[in-house]
Structures are given as C-alpha cells and as structure tokens.
Amino acid sequence: MTHGLGLGKFSRFDTRVNIAHGTAGCAPGDLFNLFPDRSVADMTRLTTIVLAAALAIIPSCRGGDSNDAPDRRTLIDSRDTDDPRSLDPAHSTDVPTGRAVAYVFDGLVRFTSDARVEPALAERWEVSPNGLTYTFHLRRGVTFHDGTPFTSRSVSRSFERVLSEGERPWPLLPIKGARAFQADEARTISGLSTPNDSTIVITLAEPLAVFITLLAMPVASIVPDSIPEKFGERPVGTGPWRFVEWSHDDYLRFARNTTYFDAAPKAESLMARIIPEASTAVAEFESGTVDVLFVPEGETQRWRDDAARSRLLRSAPGLRLFYVGINTRRGVLSDVRIRRAINHAVDVGATLEELMGGRGHRASGVIPPSLPGADTTRAPYAYDPAKAAALLKEASYPEGTELELWHSQDATVSRLAQTIQGYLAAAGIRVKLVQRDGPSVREAARNGQTDLVLKDWWADYPDAENFLYPLLHSTNVGAGGNVSFYANAEYDRQITRARRELDEATRVRLYRQADSIAFTEAPMLYLFFSTDLFAVQPWVHGFEVPVMFNGQRWTNVTIGGESDAARAPGASGRGDTPSRAGASGRSDTASRAGASGRGDTAPRAGAPTSPAPARPDSSRPPPR
C-alpha cells in the first residue's frame, strides 16, 4: 500500500464511539493504527461492527456540520459496489470503470454534471453544414502523466486502438471507414485526418446528430501513443487525477495532477471505495468515513423522515428506465389489446411508492421527462382493472394461458417482479416467474425466448435517441436492445430521420411523434424512470450530483467550509419536478456543441441499416 503523498491520515478512518456516555463521535480516530496490516475492507467490517454496537444505544450517528470536517485531505466516494473491470478506456464497459477513466483521462469533449457537453482536449470545434465533418482544434502544451506530449496523432491512434481491440467500439463506428478498419479491410480510418499536431478532422459516413456526445463517453478517451505495460492496471492519461494504487475489491486511490491544463483539483487526493453491501456503505457514511453515499431505495423513507439526514440529501433525474419488455411476436402478446391490458392491470404509482420510495416518475413513453422530446403532457396508462378485464375479453384471451416473466436475481428487481405477478394475476393473467442470473436473462430475451422480461435501461448519453433507437427500432430487435421485437415502419422512419436531423426543434418533434406511436401500441409495460438520491457529508463543498455517471470528476470538491449539500433543490429525490438534462441540439461552438451521450448499455450509432450487434444493456450495477 503506497503512502507518502502528503495525504495526512490517508486511509486511517474510524468511528470514535463512546458508549459509556451514549455518544458517537464522527471525527476520524486511530483505529487503523491498532491494526496496521489490515486492508480498508477488513477495517470496514470492524468499523461496521463497532458502529452497530453504538447504534443499538444511539438513534443515529451522522456527520455534524462543516466544523466537524475530518482530519484528512482525501475525498472518499462510496458509490461503487463492484471492482472496475479495467482502467483502460478501450475496455470501459461498466460504471466503475467508466467513472475511474473519467478521473485519469480526457476525451476531446466531456460531460458537465448537468449533462452538457463542454471542451476537454479540444478547445473548440466546427461542424460542416451537412453535419458530416467535425474539425477539432486541440489544446497545445498538454502532456500525459508520464510527460509525453499530447498531439492529434494521440487521438487517431487512440481511436484506431479502440476499433482494433476495444470490447465495445460502437461510439466510433459512425466515423467513415471505421467499420472497414475494424474488419481489417483497411489499414487506416479514412474518416480521420491530422493536418497538424493541433488539429484533427473527423468525417462521418452519414450525419448523426448525437455524434459529439459519443465522444464524451469513456471509450473515446485519449491514451498515449505508446501504451505502457499493464495499462489496464496502471493507467496513464492527461486527466485531473493521477493513478496511484488499486487494491482490488477494496479501493482505488488517485492523486491530484498539479499540472492539469484545466486547473488542478482543489483536493489533494481522491479515493474510490468499493463497498458491495449497501448497509455497510450507510454505516460508513454515518461514521464519517466516506463523503458521498448512494442512498439505497429501502432506506429512502428513513432518510427523508429524519431531519438531520434529510438535510444531507441531494438528487438528480436518473436517466434510467424500468420496464417490462413484451415480446410482440409471441402468441397472444401479438395482440395490442392484450399488451394494453397488461399496462392497465398494474398499479405502477403504488409500486413506485412502495418499492422505490417514490424515487422517480411514472413512464408515459421511453423518453425520460428531463430530456428534450419527452411529452410531459401525455398521461401514463391508468391503473384500471376493469378496463384491463374488458380488453382481455375483447381479445378473447385464452383462459388458463400462462406467461413467463423473466427477471434477474437482483433483490429490487425480484420484488418488482413479484409485485407485477400479483397485479396480473388479479386481472386474470397467470404469470410464472423465471429467475436467472443477469447474463442468462439477457441471452434469453435477445433470442426471443421470453414472453415478458423485466429490465432497466441506463442512458449512455443524455439524448432521447439513446432510448428510442435501441429499445424499439426494428434494426435493433434482439441483440441490439429491442427485446420487445417491436417493428413499426412509421416509427422506424421517424427515428431514422431524427438521427440524421441537425435542426434541434425538428429532431425533438420527430422524437415526440415516434414515442407516441410506440406508446399506443404498448410494446412494453411502462413502469418508471428512477431518480438518483445521494447523501453528501456537510463538510463536503462543491459536489454536484451528476446526471451522467462520468459527469462528476471531483475537481472542484473540497473538504471543510460551508456545505451546499442541504440547500440543493429537489433533495428528497421524489422526482416530482423534473428538469431538463443537457441539450440535444447541435452547435458550431465548443460550449454547447450538441450536448446530448453511459457506459455499457447503448445502441450502435452507425447507419440504421447496419446489423445490430450484441449489447450488454442492464448488466451494470446502479451508480452508487
């Protein structure tokens, strides 16, 4: 374990509990000094045991005010529940990897916390009137952490590397010649040119309105021309944080890049803790050993009802859709009346309140209400058992028919599946639950073997296209993400046109029209869009809850001083006042160039007529 970075009591955190006096102090102590050879994970378990004993006597222990700031200069995040798969951008296929990549690396552009696209390694860019050519003017004098210079060649080599060995290179496939290069049919990417060290020109095979947002994804991050050995374990980038140490399944540690081109981070160091158990993460937050906590759905009411805890809550509209894919090609489910009956049979509002603590919005389409294109005036399917029964009777629904509802082993998903099963049974629709591991569920759904499949879909970038195209365009049936096997020629036409449309107002109108077409045909049981809810310690200043998982890089976050956590609007996370996330329009200026693009669940952004590849959809964990 590496120390010696001027980090003070780096990774020495505990809860100093005084049970005799009935109090639990939340200042850091020296528990780690008693067990110097123990890992953070070992000490987590010990701390949790001690804290549990204290909580048996005390109602709660939580951070006090900003004057109680711990004696450390390291920011500590606890949102990751799993180890990253790699720290190499080319292998960024999950949230923990993508988050860490955003600390160490830069792309040409990046997401702000509110999901806008802003300049990163590119100072500015222009887009040709036909939407095919992007000319990026790069920052000069930027170096990688190992001192090697960043140039336009770094960009072209990085993109070539992703297309050659990346696991999911789809964000770069819209570039002209990218598919031929990937298939070893060409030695270079014809759509990339480097006129000089500070300019790169990217030409697309066809216009794609959301292309600029794809470049803000982790896989499009820029790496050195010469890749060091064990790059996935010891990454070298240009980003605001330098990699220091990775203790697998325990933590990642980063140090401030003091020469960062966009101003060095305000804090000295950053630690990303990996805490699989939600209860452990909550206990550590309440002991003051972590700074940011993803509040588990089951804890929502407890945090809202406690005055001290509720002051620490921060929320943002999560671009995550929960739905049940209805296979429109299987038996009775090909009848739209039966699909509508399924939507009327389930009380989604009560389910959202009881299982998710009210954290979200009911879905009346696949576009999140915070994104342009969503029709927030459209009413969701009403809970109406009588109407459901009438539709089933009208469709001559065969008595005794049993449908299968597939779902993963996730606890929240399992409870949701059981609830849906109960509602459908009450309406006269017998459902058998089929619980499998995540990969098995995905494979069965993609192969068309499921009647119903309970899923969640995370946005890779903040644009309605990232929901409309993969989930319901006929190009993507099966492996591409459309597990409803929905096909509607007019819907496809609207989406295909929208993807190429450069005028934002026209594109948003097409999005809304297409969403309405699909909604009336009920290719899914529309459930809800979840809201992300976090607790932020009162001594943490400058943390903004990101809409996109890689939109918070901790560069402006500090420990100490007045906290702004409790003053955030909409902190309850109930999701009743959605705000627009990002902007979907194209611009020729660097500050707002088509802000619209998450890690491993997105559609292929190539030509709509291209075969749809396999995609991992909801395999990644929630952004904790």
Range of 224's domain?
89-236+584-619
pLDDT in tens, 271-323: 999 999 999 999 999 999 999 999 988 889 999 999 999 999 999 888 999 99
Per-residue CA distances from 228 to 150, 305, 442 (Å): 15, 51, 35
Residue 81 lies in a domain: no
Q: Tell me what pLDDT residue 586 has.
A: 32
Tell me which of 452 and 569 has the higher pLDDT.
452
Q: Tell me what pLDDT residue 591 has.
A: 32
Q: Are residues 516 and 612 in the same domain?
A: no
Q: How confident is the model at residue 331 (pLDDT cuts 50, 70, 90)?
A: very high
Per-residue CA distances from 209 to 108, 457, 587, 605 (Å): 17, 21, 10, 10
Q: With H, G, I as helix, E, B as strand and everything else as coil, classify residue 119.
A: strand
Asked if residue 196 has pLDDT above 70, the reply is yes
Asked if residues 296 and 102 have their Cβ atoms less than 8 Å apart, the reply is no
Tell me which of 391 and 61 has the higher pLDDT.
391
Q: Are residues 230 and 355 in the same domain?
A: no
Q: With H, G, I as helix, E, B as strand and everything else as coil, classify residue 135.
A: strand
CATH of residue 473's domain is 3.10.105.10
Within 8 A by CB and 6+ apart from 491, the residues are: 472, 473, 514, 517, 518
* pTM (two decimals): 0.78
258-262, 298-302, 589-593: range with lowest mean pLDDT: 589-593
- Give CB contacts under 8 A, 24+ apart, made by 183-189: 188/160, 189/156, 189/159, 189/160, 189/163
Average pLDDT over residues 561-573: 45
Distance CA(426)–CA(391), nearest Å, equals: 14
Distance CA(474)–CA(489), nearest Å, equals: 8
Average pLDDT over residues 490-506: 97
Q: Tell me what pLDDT residue 145 has.
A: 98
One-character DSSP codes across 20-65:
TTTEEE-S--SHHHHSTT--HHHHHHHHHHHHHHHHTTSS------
Tell me which of 55 and 108 has the higher pLDDT.
108
Within 8 A by CB and 6+ apart from 506, the residues are: none
Of 565, 59, 18, nearest to 293 (Cα)? 565
Which alpha helices (H) appear in 36-171, and where do they start and end? Answer: 40-55, 95-104, 152-165
Q: Are residues 61 and 139 in the same domain?
A: no
Average pLDDT over residues 171-192: 97
Residue 133 lies in a domain: yes
48-57, 137-146, 333-342: range with lowest mean pLDDT: 48-57
3-12, 454-463, 579-588: range with lowest mean pLDDT: 3-12
Residue 252 lies in a domain: no
Write the secondary structure of 409-435 as one string of H (helix), E (strand) and C (coil).
CCHHHHHHHHHHHHHHHHCCCEEEEEE
Distance CA(277)–CA(275), nearest Å, equals: 6
DSSP 473: -
Q: Scan for tokens 């939407």, then name that residue.
A: 131
Residue 536 lies in a domain: no
- Give how many domains the chain has, as a whole number: 3
Q: How confident is the model at residue 32 (pLDDT cuts 50, 70, 90)?
A: very low
Residue 79 lies in a domain: no
Q: Tell me what pLDDT residue 71 has.
A: 86
Q: Tell me what pLDDT residue 560 has.
A: 86
Q: How confident is the model at residue 66 (pLDDT cuts 50, 70, 90)?
A: low
Q: Are residues 128 and 216 in the same domain?
A: yes
Q: Tell me what pLDDT residue 454 has.
A: 98
Which alpha helices (H) appear in 487-591, and where do they start and end? Answer: 489-500, 504-521
DSSP 205: S
Distance CA(359)–CA(576), nearest Å, equals: 9
Tell me which of 576 and 237 has the higher pLDDT.
237
Strands 360-362 and 540-541: unpaired
Burial class (CB in 10 A: 0-12, 13-18, 19+), 141: exposed
Average pLDDT over residues 161-189: 96
Residue 428 lies in a domain: yes
Distance CA(352)–CA(357), nearest Å, equals: 7
Q: Tell me what pLDDT residue 422 has.
A: 98
Q: Tell me what pLDDT residue 42 has.
A: 53
Provide the CB-side half-sphere exposure for 560 (13 A, CA).
7
One-character DSSP codes across 251-313:
EEEEEE-TT-TT---SSSEEEEEE---HHHHHHHHHHTS-SEEEPPGGGHHHHHHSHHHHTTE
Q: Tell me what pLDDT residue 93 has.
A: 85
Distance CA(324)–CA(232), nearest Å, equals: 36
pLDDT, averaged across the chain: 83
Average pLDDT over residues 235-259: 97
Q: Are residues 408 and 476 in the same domain?
A: yes
Q: Are residues 396 and 285 in the same domain?
A: no
Average pLDDT over residues 222-249: 96
Asked if residues 228 and 234 have their Cβ atoms less than 8 Å apart, the reply is yes
pLDDT > 70 in the chain, percent: 79
Asked if residues 592 and 216 have their Cβ atoms less than 8 Å apart, the reply is no
Q: Are residues 31 and 127 in the same domain?
A: no
CATH of residue 152's domain is 3.90.76.10
Tell me which of 364 and 610 has the higher pLDDT.
364
Backbone angles phi, psi at 434, to 5 degrees: -120, 105
Distance CA(222)–CA(219), nearest Å, equals: 9
Partners of 109 in beta bridges: 119
Q: Are residues 341 and 394 in the same domain?
A: yes
Which tokens go with 478?
Answer: 């099966």
Residue 384 lies in a domain: yes
Q: Are residues 21 and 112 in the same domain?
A: no
Residue 474 lies in a domain: yes
Its sign, for the CA torsion 605, 606, 610, 615, is negative
Q: Are residues 358 and 498 in the same domain?
A: yes
Asked if residue 170 has pLDDT above 60, the reply is yes
Of 8, 168, 176, 198, nearest to 89 (Cα)? 168
Which tokens go with 162?
Answer: 């992703």
Asked if residues 345 and 427 have their Cβ atoms less than 8 Å apart, the reply is yes
Q: Tell me what pLDDT residue 29 has.
A: 35
Q: How far apart are the first and last CA of the chain?
A: 25
Q: Are residues 51 and 129 in the same domain?
A: no
Q: Tell me what pLDDT residue 211 has.
A: 97
Angle 358-597-99 (CA atoms, 0-180°, nearest 5)?
75
Using only C-alpha atoms, what is the Rg of the chain?
A: 25
Q: Are residues 487 and 609 in the same domain?
A: no
9-13, 145-149, 180-184, 513-517: range with lowest mean pLDDT: 9-13
Asked if residue 381 has pLDDT above 90, the reply is yes
Q: Tell me what pLDDT residue 561 has.
A: 57
